[in-house]
Amino acid sequence: MDMNPIVVIGEGGHSKVIQDMIVADGCYQIAAILDDKYQEMHERNGIVYGPISAVCTMIGRNPSMKLIIAIGNNRVRAEIVRRIQVDHEKFGTLIHPSAVISPSARIGEGTVVMPNCVINAHAEIGKHVIINTGAIIEHDNRIGDYAHISPNATLTGNVAIGEGTHIGASATIIPGIKVGKWCVIGAGSTVIRDIPDFKKAVGCPTRFLD
C-alpha cells in the first residue's frame, strides 16, 4: 500500500514520539524533518532535513504531501502556523492505533492523539492540539486550537478548554468547567471552578499563581 508522505516540523523530544506514531499508524511515510537547527536542505536515508522555510519546497514536490507540527510548546505551534501560511487541509491528523475515539468525536487538522487516549462521544477537538499519552477526554468536551492535554490528564464531561491552554500531567477537571485561553494548569491539579483566560493555576483544588 502506498503511504502518503508527511513533513514533520520540529525535531525535539515531542517529535521523537510523533515519529514513532507515524510508523505505528502506517498511514504516512516521513518525507522530511524540518527544524531551524538546520540551515540547508540535505538528504539522509531517504529523508530530507532542512529549515522550516523548506516547507513550500516539500509541498511543491508532491501534491499529496501532509504536514504535522511536532513541537510541544503551544505558542510556537501557533506561531509556525501563522508563519508558514499553508491551507489547513495540508495538515495531517495523527491518531495512535491504541487510542479509543468515539465515532461522534470531531478532531481538527494538525492534531495528534497519542497512545492509550480515550476521546468520548461528541467531543470536539480543535486544530494543532496535543492529546498526550493516556489522556481522557470525556463526552461533550470542547478543546480549543493549540491546546495541550498532558499525559494522564482527565477531562470529565462537558469541560471546555480555551485556545492554547496547557493542562499539566495527571490534572483532573470536574464536569462542566470552563478553562480560558492560554492558561496553564499545574501537573496533578484538580480544577473545580472556572478559570479565566491567561491564568496559571495549581493545586487541589487549584489556586492562582498570577
Ligand X SMILES: CC(=O)SCCNC(=O)CCNC(=O)[C@H](O)C(C)(C)COP(=O)(O)OP(=O)(O)OC[C@H]1O[C@@H](n2cnc3c(N)ncnc32)[C@H](O)[C@@H]1OP(=O)(O)O
Q: Is 209 in the site for ligand X (CB under 6 A)?
A: yes
Task: Kindly report each contact of residues 47-55 with a partner whose C-beta sits within 8 Å and lies 24 or more positions away, as own/partner.
Answer: 52/9, 52/80, 52/83, 52/84, 55/7, 55/9, 55/84, 55/86
Q: Is 202 in the site for ligand X (CB under 6 A)?
A: yes
Q: 8, 22 in Cβ contact below 8 A? A: yes
Q: Is 115 in the site for ligand X (CB under 6 A)?
A: no
Minimum distance of ligand X from residue 17's CB (angstroms) = 7
Residue 148, phi then psi, degrees to nearest 5: -135, 120
Q: Is 47 in the site for ligand X (CB under 6 A)?
A: no
Site for ligand X in 176-195 (CB under 6 A): 184, 186-189
Q: Is 164 in the site for ligand X (CB under 6 A)?
A: no
Q: Could you list the active site residues?
A: 139
Between 115 and 188, name the residue whose CB sits nearer to ligand X.
Answer: 188
Between 66 and 148, name the residue whose CB sits nearer to ligand X.
Answer: 148
- Compute the distance between CA of residue 52 and CA of residue 67 in angstroms, rounded to an integer: 11
- Compute the distance between CA of residue 69 and CA of residue 65 in angstroms, rounded to an integer: 14
Residues near ligand X (CB under 6 A) are 132, 150-151, 168-169, 184, 186-189, 200, 202-203, 209
